[in-house]
Amino acid sequence: MKIYMNGKLVDKAKAHVSVFDHGLLYGDGVFEGIRAYNGRVFMLDEHVDRLYRSAQAISLSIPMTKKEMARAVIIACKANKVADGYIRLVVTRGVGTLGLNPYTCETPQVIIIAGGIQLYPAKLYETGLSVVTVGTVRNPTEATNPRIKSLNYLNNILAKIEAINAGVMECVMLNPQGYVAEASGDNIFIVRGDTLITPPPWCGSLEGITRAVVMKLAPEHGYKVKEDVLARYDLYTADEMFLTGSAAEIISVVNMDRRVIGSGKPGPVTKELSRHFRAFARISGTPIK
């Protein structure tokens, strides 16, 4: 495997970062997870735009233009013969001192890994996920804003630990006010009648790229979409519930906190939107070749 690092392709075994990199020391940096389908990088410009917004929010100056970054993603995919896969795009603050001061870091590090990922077993896309509500509260927007896709994912990891310890693979995180924010790594939707409802970003969720695609596709196929504040009650009593994310794509939730959601099986709306998403993903995106 070849890793793109600061304008060069290096062997995986030689892809190193300094122990003084603030990305390692403090989780100081930003990242994106991107999918490739059928020889195309899906929603590449949107991912690059979000990366630069995250960097702007933490006062991190990326030493490349957006066009150069997009081109680097294509280079990494070509080097690893990735036609259907997953790309991890990382920008760290760079090497600095042992103090917190980010301005001691002179050169941000740009790292692109093009390979594969399987977030959930294939069978769960047929049977649906079970999830639990966790006690780890989503970061409040006044602290580390969840709209920043930063390298500091400890909040999400603590939630994931709770989920795994409870015997499930995913969870629901609440914000400090007790409303639904998101899963540990995915956005949340419920279906009520012909309407899809998802929490607004200010409730503590990332502005997901796959979330945005679903919100675009749904009205084209006869469904209404709205952002609204959701409580656990709304999830328990939904007709259907599903999660969205670049790695997860669209996956149904059929049980939450030992309450059966809907019929207890992936619902018709979730299945239909999954089909439309897969079809859209395979014909959209930036060509790798």
**Tokens of residue 27, six digits:** 């989780």
DSSP state of 185: S
Listed as own residue / partner, the contacts of 252-256 with beta carbons closer than 8 Å and 24 or more positions apart are 252/125, 252/128, 252/129, 253/128, 253/129, 253/130, 253/131, 253/170, 254/127, 254/128, 254/129, 254/130, 255/128, 255/129, 255/130, 255/131, 256/130, 256/131, 256/132, 256/133, 256/172, 256/232
289 catalytically annotated: no
Residue with tokens 């006062």, as numbered in its chain: 59
Catalytic residue among 149, 160, 216, 226: 149
Token digits of residue 78: 């070509």
SS3 119: coil
Length, in residues, of the chain: 289
Amino acid (1-letter code) at residue 173: M
272's tokens: 């239909």
Say which residues have a Cβ less than 8 Å from residue 222's Cβ, sequence separation at least 6. Answer: 194
- Which residues are part of the catalytic machinery? 149
